[in-house]
Amino acid sequence: MAKTNGTGGAASSVTAALMLHGRVAIVTGGAGGIGSAVSKHLASLGARVAVAYFGDPAPAKEVVSGINATHGADPPQAIAVEADVNDAAQVKALFDAAAAAFGGEVHILVTTAAVLDFSYPPLAETSEASYDAMFGANTRGTFLCCREAANRLARDGRGRIVTFSSSGVGSLRPGYAAYAASKAAVEVMTKILARELRGTGITANVVAPGSTATPMFYNGKSPEEAERYIAEAPLGRLGMPEDIAPLVGFLASDAGGWVNAQVLRCNGGTI
């Protein structure tokens, strides 16, 4: 058995298990509040990242530019790809673009793209359009991405699917009925997918953040409402995107390879 000096060898082994060199990741919503932190963190671990966005390209280009400035642009460490996750053809094109840009194989899918009705209507006042928008992006979009990943990810023990739910599934907060329902469906779908992928070496897990200081959290809330969320938090603050990204990195790495079919509520103890 190899000997180590003090704890240095063990620390090196842990660090190596977390690294993602040689792996290609797709992050949907990769320029959003949490998504941008995830994209940057995966790149810092060595992954080459396709930052998927829909609509305004400027935020995605900014994230990609920052990654490439830090980690190298020749060849690029990151690219921006526009894709509506609610469209199967565009999801396929997203995977094709990542594979073509980075060498033919995709290893990691992270689905942070999400829609929330910022008027926070009670169920009795939720419109069909609002319901359809949330289930379209949050549930159908995740389904289409996961379906593509199930058929496309590397089967060499490095394939990882990390979907996103919300701790709101458990908090039962009024005004979030359709949104929480769309995320609860993601949790069930992902756990079943993990079992269906038996024998492929691909894991599938869910990250469920709590209240996180992003534009999506603050949209539609008064300062007083935001303060109430902080007052309820056991750690006395909102989460930060940088609190969420390392968990995704762990699940995407060899270190997280024995974690499968789990929902991890990354919320600082908030119910």
pLDDT, tens only, 91-146: 999 999 999 999 889 999 999 999 999 999 999 999 999 999 999 999 999 999 99
Percent of the chain with pLDDT over 70: 96
Say how far apart CA 9 and CA 16 lie, in whole Å: 11
Residue 237, domain extent: 18-266
Do the domain assignments include residue 12?
A: no
- Number of folded domains that form the chain: 1
CATH number (domain holding residue 167): 3.40.50.720
Query: Quick check: 84 and 137 in contact, CB under 8 A?
Result: no
Q: Does 172 map to a domain?
A: yes
Quote the pLDDT of residue 6: 57
2: in domain: no
The answer on pLDDT for 2 being more than 50 is: no
Q: 3 falls in which pLDDT band (50, 70, 90)?
A: very low
pLDDT at 12: 77
Section 47-67 average pLDDT: 98
Mean pLDDT value across the chain? 95
Positions marked catalytic: 179
**By the 8 A CB rule, do 83 and 54 touch?**
yes
Within the chain, strands assigned E span: 24-28, 48-53, 78-82, 108-111, 160-164, 203-209, 263-266
Q: What is the mean pLDDT of residues 138-155?
A: 98
Give the pTM.
Answer: 0.94
pLDDT-derived band at 4 (thresholds 50, 70, 90) equals very low
How much of the chain exceeds pLDDT 90, in percent? 92
- Of 19-23, 32-36, 170-174, the least confident: 170-174
Any idea what DSSP says for residue 254?
G
Q: Residue 98: inside a domain, yes or no?
A: yes
Does pLDDT of 9 surpass 60?
Answer: yes
* DSSP states of 71-133: H-BTTBSEEEEE--TT-HHHHHHHHHHHHHHHTS-B-EEEE------TT---GGG--HHHHHH
Question: Does the residue 110 lie in any domain?
Answer: yes
* 36 in a structural domain: yes
Determine the 3-state secondary structure of 263 from DSSP: strand
pLDDT value of residue 84: 98
Dihedral pair phi/psi, residue 55, rounded to 5°? 105, -130
CA angle, corner 58, sides to 149 and 166, nearest 5?
50
Residue 139 lies in a domain: yes
Nearest Cα to Cα of residue 179 among 125, 116, 266: 116
Q: Is the peptide bond before 75 cis (omega within 30 degrees of 0)?
A: yes
**Mean pLDDT in residue range 224-243:** 95
Residue 1: the pLDDT is 39
**9 or 207: whose pLDDT is higher?**
207
Within-domain flag for 5: no
